[in-house]
Amino acid sequence: MTATAPALPPFWSLVEAHGDELLAHARRLAGPEHAEDVLQDAFLRALRAYPRLRHAEHLRAWLYRVTTTAAIDAHRGRPRESPVAEPPIVAVADDVDADGAFEALIAPLPEAAREPLRLRFVEDLDYDHIAGRLGCSPQAARQRVSTAVRTLRERHAA
């Protein structure tokens, strides 16, 4: 390994730390009957790309993104691997928003409103997980999503 290579954690520590929630994510995206196949595919895609990652940040968000891509490809019925090669610099699952329509929709809002909306509607997380990502309580997470939705509505109604 070169001196510039990031100190990536052992891959399996990510699997053991996030596997349960990734399976739940795969189940929401692909349904219970396909969730395990999707997640297995996602882990293998992630393993192939893992040594090439240029930084060791946002690995959980990256795994969400790889899982989302695997679910979409399973649904389309054709493999597509290239988008998993790099983790997002920020935690955006932009494959779900491939045409950028969602980002464009929320662009006028402050980041404090955009992030809860992405977690809820792009990454499709429940409020417990949104709370974990935002570092607040689930009630506060629900409130922030709700406020952001209201702001968005008002913005587009105006």
Partner 1 sequence: MTPLPDTLLEAVASAAVREGLADAIFTRLSTPIGRLLVVQGPNGIVRVGFEEEPEDALLAGVAAELGPRVVASDRELAATRDALSAYLEGEESMLDLPVDLGFVHAPFRRAVLETLHDTVRRGEVVTYGKLAERSGRPGAFRAAATACARNPVPIVVPCHRVLPGSGGIGNYGGGVARKRVLLELEGAL
Site residues for partner 1 per CB under 8 A: 1, 7-13, 15-16, 19-21, 23-24, 36, 39-40, 43-44, 47-48, 50-51
Measured at the alpha carbon of residue 26, what is the angle toward residues 20 and 30, in degrees to the nearest 5? Answer: 150
Q: Smallest gap, in angstroms, from Cβ of residue 20 to partner 1?
A: 5
8 A C-beta contact, residue 34 and residue 66: no
* Closest approach of partner 1 to the CB of residue 96, in Å: 21
By beta-carbon proximity to partner 1, the closer residue of 36 and 153 is 36
Helix axes 59-76, 11-30, angle to 10 degrees: 40
Report the nearest approach of partner 1 to the CB of residue 43 (Å). Answer: 5
CA–CA distance, 120 with 45 (Å, rounded to integer): 25
- Residue among 94 and 126 whose Cβ is closer to partner 1: 126
Our CB check for partner 1 shows the closer of 16 and 90 to be: 16
Report the b/e string of 5-27 with b at 16+ CB within 10 A: eeeeeeeeebeeebeebbbbbbb
- In whole angstroms, how close is the CB of 23 to partner 1 at the nearest point? 6
